[in-house]
Amino acid sequence: MNEGPEVAVVMGSDSDWQLVKQAVRTLDSFGVRCEAKVISAHRTPDVAASYARQCSERGVKVIIAAAGGAAHLAGAMAAHSILPVVGIPIAGGTLGGLDSLLSTAQMPAGVPVATVTLGSAGAVNAAILAVQILAVSRPDLQEKLRQYKVSMRDKVLAGDERVRADMRGEQTDQTD
């Protein structure tokens, strides 16, 4: 059995790590093996191209790429790989992340990048999307995703119950 990473998580700068770490933790929670690496599409373009090309040879199935500013990392990964690429635009700069979002999403025909939202929801959603891609051929991950959806539903229902109890003037001790 291949024990290498199933998902490669790359970021344009180590300053992105605090956000990207949420994607890694989410993958870990599903039991998906991953690796994380800092690669710049602009400052280390040869490294980026080589890494993207080697991912499929090493058994990686999905690449998650996070970058801010010009945010070309996901596109660079997609240009040099046949694997699905999920882009996480990093908020910041003078446009508050809009530049990153557009740079990640606006790819030419034939070089797709699945783009998630800015912020921590984007990091979690990138990981969930990677798990969903892997789950196409993995019943174990399909079951974990079902359980994940049930836990999200249960959390909302519990929150609804707390709100309704509060409206009735009842005390509840549980919080999510």
**Distance (Å, whole) CA 42 – CA 70:** 9
Please tell me which residue, 3 or 153, carries the higher pLDDT value: 153
pLDDT, residue 172, reads 62
For residues 39, 40, 45, 48, the Cα torsion angle rounded to the nearest 10 degrees is: 30
pLDDT at 176 over 70: no
Q: Check whether residue 118 and residue 45 sit in a common domain.
A: yes
CA atoms within 13 A on the CB side of 141: 21
Same domain, 36 and 67: yes
Can you tell me the mean pLDDT for 43-49?
96
| Domain co-membership, 148 together with 61 | no
126 and 158, same structural domain?
A: no
Residue 121 and residue 175 in one domain: no
| DSSP code string of 104-117 | HH-PPTT---EE--
User: Within a domain: residue 1?
Assistant: no
Give, as one character, the DSSP assignment of residue 58.
Answer: T
The count of domains in the chain is: 2
Q: 2 in a domain, yes or no?
A: no
Residue 97 shares a structural domain with residue 157: no
43 and 123 part of one domain: yes
Q: Does pLDDT of 155 surpass 70?
A: yes
Query: Looking at the predicted structure, is the pLDDT value of residue 175 above 90?
Result: no
In a domain, 27, yes or no: yes
How confident is the model over 79-97, as pLDDT tens digits? 999 999 999 999 988 888 9
pLDDT higher than threshold 60 for residue 139: yes
Same domain membership, residue 168 and residue 107? no
pLDDT of residue 94: 82
Q: Tell me which DSSP letter residue 71 carries.
A: -
**Is the per-residue pLDDT at 30 higher than 80?**
yes
Which residues constitute the domain of residue 96?
A: 7-137
Q: Are strands 114-115 and 85-90 parallel, antiparallel or unpaired?
A: parallel
**Residue 31 in domain:** yes
Dump pLDDT digits (tens) for 122-131: 999 999 999 9
Instruction: Clarify whether residues 172 and 121 are in a common domain.
Output: no
Tell me if residue 123 falls in helix, strand or coil. helix
Same domain for 133 and 143, yes or no, is no
Q: In what order do the strands lie in the sheet with 114-115?
A: 34-38, 7-11, 62-68, 85-90, 114-115
pLDDT of residue 105: 93
Average pLDDT, the chain: 94
The CATH number of residue 36's host domain is: 3.40.50.1970
* Dihedral (CA of 9, 13, 17, 23) sign: negative
67 with 154, same domain: the answer is no
Looking at the structure, tell me whether residues 173 and 126 fall in a common domain.
Answer: no
